[in-house]
């Protein structure tokens, strides 16, 4: 099933993410610290692209309803230790 992920900046370092899958939808508030963004991307892709790909990573591992409603992007690595290496590979 196709998944639509919309990433909208709210203010500096804060984003609203809407995940639409079938008839269902979830909304998430994501914080992204500048140093973490730079660590993962080297500023080679947009913050929105990093967040979208991070959600695709999460959706491959759990349903949208299981994703935290509000979190800092860096916590993904606590739950999925391969997150940082995998996201760098995807964005390269």
Give residue-wise pLDDT tens across range 35-71: 999 999 999 999 999 999 999 999 999 999 999 999 9
Quick count: other Cβ atoms within 10 Å of Cβ 61? 12
CA distance linking residue 78 with residue 92, whole number of Å: 22
Distance CA 68, CA 2 (A): 21
Q: Is 45 helix (H, G, I), strand (E, B) or coil?
A: coil
Closest CA to 60 of 76, 36, 49: 76
Can you tell me the distance from the alpha carbon of 23 to that of 33, in angstroms, rounded to the nearest whole number? 32
pTM more than 0.85: yes
């Amino acid at each position: 099933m196709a998944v639509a992920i919309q990433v909208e900046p709210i203010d500096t370092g804060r984003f609203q993410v809407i995940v639409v899958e079938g008839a269902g939808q979830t909304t998430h508030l994501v914080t992204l610290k500048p140093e973490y963004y730079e660590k993962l991307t080297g500023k080679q892709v947009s913050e929105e692209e990093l967040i979208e790909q991070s959600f695709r990573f999460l959706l491959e591992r759990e349903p949208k309803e299981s994703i935290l409603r509000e979190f800092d992007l860096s916590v993904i690595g606590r739950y999925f230790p391969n997150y940082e290496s995998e996201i760098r590979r995807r964005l390269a």
